[in-house]
Amino acid sequence: MKSVQGYIRPAMKTKDTHSVLIVDDHSSIAFLIGEFIRGLPGFTLSGLACDAASALAALREQPVDVIVLDLDLPDRNGLDLLSEIREVAPGAKILIFSALMSQHTLGEAMRHQVAGFIEKSAPLEQLAGALHQVVAGTVALGPAAGAFLRDIVRGNTGVSALPTRQVEILRLLAEGNSVKEIASQLELSIPGVYKSIGRMKEKTGSRTAMELVLKARNKGLVKSQDEKFRVSSLAR
Any domain includes 149: no
Claim to verify: residue 106 and residue 161 sit in the same structural domain: no
Claim to verify: residue 129 and residue 102 sit in the same structural domain: yes
More confident residue, 27 or 217: 27
Any domain includes 52: yes
Structure confidence at residue 69 (pLDDT): 96
Claim to verify: residue 102 and residue 162 sit in the same structural domain: no
Mean pLDDT, the chain, whole residue set? 80
213 pLDDT above the threshold of 80: no
Counting residues of the chain whose pLDDT is more than 90, the rounded percentage is 35
Any domain includes 36: yes
Least confident of 32-46, 62-76, 123-137, 166-180: 166-180
Any domain includes 84: yes
Final residue in a domain of this structure, among 106, 138, 170: 138
Final residue in a domain of this structure, among 138, 172, 187: 138
Structure confidence at residue 234 (pLDDT): 41
Structure confidence at residue 226 (pLDDT): 39
| b/e burial code for range 129-150 (CB count within 10 A of at least 16 → b) | bbbbbbbebbbbbbebbbebbb
Claim to verify: residue 117 and residue 202 sit in the same structural domain: no
Structure confidence at residue 214 (pLDDT): 77
pTM: predicted TM-score of the whole model, two decimal places: 0.64
pLDDT in tens, 164-205: 778 788 888 877 778 888 889 988 888 888 888 888 887 777
Claim to verify: residue 90 and residue 53 sit in the same structural domain: yes
Any domain includes 109: yes
Claim to verify: residue 131 and residue 188 sit in the same structural domain: no
Claim to verify: residue 67 and residue 161 sit in the same structural domain: no
Claim to verify: residue 133 and residue 169 sit in the same structural domain: no
Mention every residue, 6+ apart, whose C-beta is less than 8 A from residue 126: 118, 142
Structure confidence at residue 159 (pLDDT): 56
| b/e burial code for range 90-110 (CB count within 10 A of at least 16 → b) | eebbbbbbbebbeeebbebbb
What range defines the domain where residue 48 resides?
2-138
Any domain includes 85: yes
Dihedral through CA 132, CA 135, CA 138, CA 139, nearest 10? 80
Structure confidence at residue 191 (pLDDT): 87
Task: Identify the CATH number of the domain in which residue 198 sits.
Answer: 1.10.10.10
81 pLDDT above the threshold of 50: yes
Task: Identify the CATH number of the domain in which residue 48 sits.
Answer: 3.40.50.2300
pLDDT in tens, 154-169: 544 455 556 777 878 8
Claim to verify: residue 86 and residue 162 sit in the same structural domain: no
50 DSSP 8-state letter: S
Structure confidence at residue 194 (pLDDT): 87
pLDDT in tens, 93-143: 999 999 887 767 877 887 788 999 998 888 999 999 999 999 988 888 888
Any domain includes 146: no
Any domain includes 148: no
Claim to verify: residue 13 and residue 130 sit in the same structural domain: yes
Final residue in a domain of this structure, among 76, 107, 138: 138
More confident residue, 128 or 4: 128
For the chain, what is the domain count?
2
Label residue 33 by pLDDT band (50, 70, 90).
very high
Claim to verify: residue 134 and residue 158 sit in the same structural domain: no
Claim to verify: residue 43 and residue 105 sit in the same structural domain: yes
Counting residues of the chain whose pLDDT is more than 70, the rounded percentage is 78
77 pLDDT above the threshold of 60: yes
